[in-house]
């Protein structure tokens, strides 16, 4: 975990400048590189592990200025995240900085209000930045010459601002609870223009390249008090509007089968308007997540990426990039390598996708410089952490930012995980990654369960920071002599619709738990594993499954580490609203909770959580600790005041993982 973690890779609309964020031991800074040599250097010079994230990194079209958000969003009580414990009030602000040097200049305050809501958009001429914050759309000159001011005083909660190609209009999503509108702010006019307002929820406005059309997605409005137990799948439409008149019509409608339903994460990444007569979107109608292209005249959509694989649209990974010529798309998928991710290119005009990268590596987040001259992307492997690379002629790659990579990083000592394909208790095919340390005899073992649950662990350092760190921790445990088994249980992504949406899963039946038991039994049967010294650990949803394993199968799992997991699903999984079947839903959710099995829990557990967790209420572990105490179950705790769900400070991760390793050593290796 001593390597710099890159994120937010972006590119200028003109020229050959790329930018990204490096997080080096909790110190975040913006880095840039410009072609043709792409020598990388730091733009900002922050120096402390203070938990202040850098998000929504953007480059002006000429590549001379970066704009970014510094600081984290507010929680439900309106408080800003500040795990550093500073006595000064924290802020979430928008800054601009010259790539040639100089101090960042404050453009304004964001305070976007919920997790991962940061969204800065730069005007086509590069002079202005707009963003959503405190329910309004704000604008400020990138020069910093004037303070930011609100553009909208709309009664809705305004998000998703998008500049028109001319820079004379801004489309945005006005959210209003059970419905939402697409609205347009027209510079020089005193009124907003609403696009075909309806009782539905409209979102994701996208301009045509000539600015004469506006596409957006429409899904049904929220019903009043629908039942909780049945799973609700949402149909959706692609709408095409005249931004001048506000009139819109549906040019494509989804099917009504469950796999046809709307996937927000997929469309946030994929939905675009490449040419004035084509729209690209993602769909899982054939059971796999694929790209499609649609004529603005309507008619059936054409499949661009056929096959039994998925394009990678995991949240916070921007893996679909429209090339500057707007005639092709570069994307990441797991075609022919289901436990990794590689880059492909597909032409919108037709033809089979072309593979750009391959091998025992993982590639994601591609960007393409102006005129399609260079592809820059993030890549990792089983031993090499994630770093930015330039794809050179002949498929060779050049690492960017190498000077920041620690010379003493123990790559040679890391263990290449083995790809394991096995069966769950009901015959479902599962994929896992096995770390086997050197040495003879029977080793203690640990089962790792990812969070989400809509995530996927890969055969290498993960492109998402949370799971990148957990991969590093699994490697560390393996280096300490543990056999580590990282399992992608059902509910995860990239293995098709049916795997992602199994029957009776989650709080409705926890069918994924049988994958946990099957994984533990797989470990127990390995000739080099001591079946009496098997531990279990995970974070978030993986923490919930860890608690389930300890509560239901203490005979199999001798100890566990539960990071920010859920113990009472009736409290965490159900929306806080009336429903005709609420009592039955609460009973069902509690039945599939660790709390329901507290009487059979025997194994010791370490509970870890930050008390400003915005995903899993801290009260879950307050309650669980009291239940464990009442049933005389041994437990330890590690609490981080003011820390959030995905720890913002690097030192919080280090303390959590050090404590986890010490706990496993105590309970799985008591002879040492």
DSSP 477-504: HHHTT-EEEEEE-TT-SSS-HHHHS-TT
Q: Does residue 168 register a pLDDT over 90?
A: yes
- Mean pLDDT value across residues 603-608: 98
Q: Does residue 280 register a pLDDT over 90?
A: yes
Count of H-run helices and E-run strands, the chain: 9, 40
pLDDT value at position 88? 86
Burial zone of 87 (CB within 10 Å; 0-12 exposed, 13-18 middle, 19+ buried) = exposed
CA pseudo-torsion sign 418, 25, 641, 135: negative
Helix (H, G, I), strand (E, B) or coil at 525: helix
Helix (H, G, I), strand (E, B) or coil at 277: coil
First-to-last CA distance in the chain? 26
Sheet holding 320-322, edge to edge: 320-322, 328-333, 342-347, 354-355
Tokens of 454: 């809509």
pLDDT value at position 671? 60
Which stretches of 540-596 are DSSP H helices?
541-552, 569-572, 582-591
Distances (CA, A) of 598 to 107, 543, 601, 627, 663: 52, 15, 5, 7, 21
For the chain, the domains span 263-407, 417-573+583-668
**Could you tell me which of 329, 227, 335 has the C-alpha nearest to residue 271?**
329
Q: Name the pTM for this structure.
A: 0.96
pLDDT value at position 37? 93
Helix (H, G, I), strand (E, B) or coil at 213: coil
CA torsion angle 401 402 406 408 (round to 10): 170
What beta strand segments (E) does 214-327 contain? 214-219, 237-241, 248-253, 272-275, 278-283, 290-295, 302-303, 320-322
Classify domain 417-573+583-668 at the CATH class level. alpha beta
Nearest 5°: phi and psi at 207? -85, 145
Render pLDDT for 213-247 as a digit per residue (tens, 0 to 9). Answer: 999 999 999 999 999 999 999 999 999 999 999 99
pLDDT value at position 86? 86
Using pLDDT thresholds of 50, 70 and 90, give the confidence band for residue 430: very high
Question: Could you identify the residue written with the tokens 């404050």?
Answer: 106
Q: Give the DSSP letter string of 56-97.
A: EEEE-TTSSEEEEEES--B-TTSPBP-TT--SSPP--EEEEE
pLDDT value at position 74? 74
- Mean pLDDT value across residues 289-305: 96
Q: Does residue 54 register a pLDDT over 90?
A: yes
**Could you tell me which of 120, 98, 97, 125 has the C-alpha nearest to residue 109?**
120
Domains 263-407 and 417-573+583-668 share a fold: no
pLDDT value at position 406? 94
pLDDT value at position 589? 97
Percent of the chain having pLDDT more than 70? Answer: 99
- Mean pLDDT value across residues 615-634: 97
Tokens of 120: 């800065």
Give CA–CA dist 419/438, Å, rounded. 17
CB atoms within 10 A of CB 222: 16
pLDDT value at position 94? 97
Using pLDDT thresholds of 50, 70 and 90, give the confidence band for residue 669: confident
Q: Does residue 497 register a pLDDT over 60?
A: yes
Tokens of 14: 């003109």
**Could you tell me which of 36, 22, 9, 68 has the C-alpha nearest to residue 377?**
9
- Mean pLDDT value across residues 46-73: 95
pLDDT value at position 116? 74
Which stretches of 357-501 are DSSP H helices?
465-479, 497-500
Using pLDDT thresholds of 50, 70 and 90, give the confidence band for residue 81: confident
Using pLDDT thresholds of 50, 70 and 90, give the confidence band for residue 85: confident
pLDDT value at position 111? 85
Superfamily (CATH) of domain 263-407: TolB, C-terminal domain (2.120.10.30)
Q: Does residue 582 register a pLDDT over 60?
A: yes
């Amino acid at each position: 975990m001593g390597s710099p973690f890159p994120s937010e890779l972006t590119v200028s609309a003109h020229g050959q400048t790329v930018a990204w964020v490096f997080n080096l031991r909790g110190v975040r800074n913006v880095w840039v590189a410009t072609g043709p040599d792409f020598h990388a250097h730091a733009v900002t010079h922050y120096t402390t592990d203070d938990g202040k994230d850098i998000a929504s990194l953007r480059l002006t079209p000429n590549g001379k200025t970066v704009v970014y958000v510094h600081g984290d969003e507010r929680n439900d009580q309106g408080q800003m995240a500040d795990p550093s414990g500073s006595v000064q009030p924290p802020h979430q602000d928008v800054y601009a900085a010259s790539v040639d040097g100089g101090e960042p200049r404050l453009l304004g305050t964001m305070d976007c209000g919920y997790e991962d809501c940061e969204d800065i958009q730069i005007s086509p001429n590069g002079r202005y930045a707009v963003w959503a914050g405190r329910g309004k759309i704000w604008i400020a000159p990138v020069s910093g010459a004037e303070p930011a001011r609100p553009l909208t005083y709309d009664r809705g909660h305004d998000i998703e601002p998008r500049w028109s190609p001319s820079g004379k209009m801004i489309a945005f999503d006005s959210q209003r609870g059970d419905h939402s509108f697409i609205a347009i702010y027209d510079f020089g006019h005193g009124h907003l223009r609403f696009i075909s307002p309806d009782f539905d929820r409209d979102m994701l406005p996208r301009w045509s390249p000539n600015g004469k059309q506006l596409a957006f997605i429409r899904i049904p409005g929220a019903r009043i008090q629908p039942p909780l137990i049945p799973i609700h799948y949402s149909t959706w439409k692609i709408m095409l509007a005249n931004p001048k008149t506000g009139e819109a019509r549906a040019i494509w409608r989804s099917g009504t089968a469950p796999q046809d339903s709307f996937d927000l994460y997929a469309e946030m990444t994929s939905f675009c308007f490449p040419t004035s007569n084509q729209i690209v979107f993602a769909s899982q109608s054939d059971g796999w997540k694929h790209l499609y292209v649609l004529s603005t005249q309507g008619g059936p959509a054409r499949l661009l990426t056929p096959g039994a694989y998925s394009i990678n649209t995991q949240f916070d990974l921007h893996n679909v990039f429209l090339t500057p010529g707007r005639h092709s798309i570069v994307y990441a998928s797991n075609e022919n390598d289901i436990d990794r991710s590689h880059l492909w290119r597909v032409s919108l005009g037709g033809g089979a996708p072309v593979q750009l990268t391959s091998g025992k590596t993982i590639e994601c987040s591609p960007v393409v410089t102006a005129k399609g001259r260079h592809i820059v992307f993030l890549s990792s492997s089983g031993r090499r952490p994630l770093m930015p690379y330039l794809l050179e002629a002949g498929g060779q790659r050049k690492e960017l930012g190498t000077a920041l990579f620690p010379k003493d990083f123990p790559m040679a000592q890391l263990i290449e995980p083995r790809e394991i394909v096995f069966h769950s208790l009901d015959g479902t095919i599962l994929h896992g990654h096995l770390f086997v340390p050197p040495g003879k005899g029977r080793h203690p073992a640990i089962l790792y369960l990812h969070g989400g649950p809509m995530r996927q662990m890969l055969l290498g350092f993960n492109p998402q920071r949370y799971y990148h760190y957990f991969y590093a921790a699994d490697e560390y445990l393996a280096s300490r002599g543990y056999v580590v088994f990282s399992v992608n249980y059902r509910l995860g992504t990239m293995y098709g619709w049916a795997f992602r949406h199994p029957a009776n899963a989650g709080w409705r039946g926890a069918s994924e738990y049988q994958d946990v038991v099957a994984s533990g039994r797989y470990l127990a049967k390995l000739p080099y594993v001591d079946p009496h010294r098997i531990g279990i650990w995970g974070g978030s949803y993986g923490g919930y499954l860890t608690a389930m394993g300890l509560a239901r199968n203490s005979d199999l799992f001798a100890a566990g580490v539960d990071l920010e997991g859920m113990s009472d699903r009736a409290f965490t999984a159900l929306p806080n609203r009336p429903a005709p079947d609420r009592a039955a839903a609460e009973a069902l959710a509690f039945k599939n909770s660790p709390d329901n099995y507290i009487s059979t829990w025997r194994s010791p557990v370490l509970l870890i959580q930050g008390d400003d967790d915005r995903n899993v209420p801290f009260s879950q572990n307050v309650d669980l600790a009291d239940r464990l105490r009442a049933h005389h179950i041994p437990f330890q705790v590690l609490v981080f005041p003011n820390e959030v769900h995905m720890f913002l400070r690097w030192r919080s991760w280090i303390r959590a993982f050090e404590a986890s390793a010490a706990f496993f050593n105590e309970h799985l290796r008591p002879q040492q």
